[in-house]
């Protein structure tokens, strides 16, 4: 028989009492301790699966909605995206290949106010090339 030592707090105080807990000492019926488990809640994806999910989400949702995202002040953090792609794709050298220069705030404002260029290349074409 398993027995555990647990700390029980006395309601209304900051006092704790150490008690032994086992099948004999527990209160209630087994069904009182019954709970549902979502079998997909703790599912851990492999890095390649996560990378595929990110690519699919970008391709299906983000890129088609870019004009709306930009209208609301949103933008894709390309530097972060490439960092994630390098990490999940097990290609840490990607950060050595693509470099980003530091820009002053005026240059950033200028880029934000420009009309976005239309992209005719899909994400899979970019990733395969």
pLDDT band at 82 (very low <50, low <70, confident <90, very high): very high
With contact defined as beta carbons under 8 Å apart, do 86 and 95 qualify? Answer: yes
The distance from CA 64 to its chain's CA centroid, rounded to whole angstroms, is: 21
Q: At what angle do helices 78-88 and 47-57 cross, to 10 degrees?
A: 150
Q: For residue 50, name the pLDDT band (cuts at 50, 70, 90).
A: very high
pTM: 0.50
pLDDT tens digit sequence for 15-43: 888 888 787 777 777 776 677 777 777 77
8 A C-beta contact, residue 26 and residue 6: no
């Amino acid at each position: 028989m398993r027995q555990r030592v647990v700390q029980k707090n006395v309601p209304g105080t900051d006092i704790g009492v150490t008690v032994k807990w086992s099948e004999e000492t527990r209160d209630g019926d087994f069904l009182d301790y019954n709970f549902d488990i979502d079998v997909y809640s703790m599912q851990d994806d492999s890095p390649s699966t996560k990378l595929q999910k990110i690519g699919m989400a970008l391709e299906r949702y983000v890129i088609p909605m870019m004009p709306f995202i930009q209208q609301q002040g949103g933008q894709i953090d390309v530097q972060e995206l490439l960092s994630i792609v390098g990490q999940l794709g097990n290609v840490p050298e990607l950060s050595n290949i693509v470099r980003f220069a530091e820009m002053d705030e005026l240059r950033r404002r200028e880029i934000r106010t420009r009309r976005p260029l239309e992209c005719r290349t899909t994400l899979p074409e970019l990733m395969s090339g």
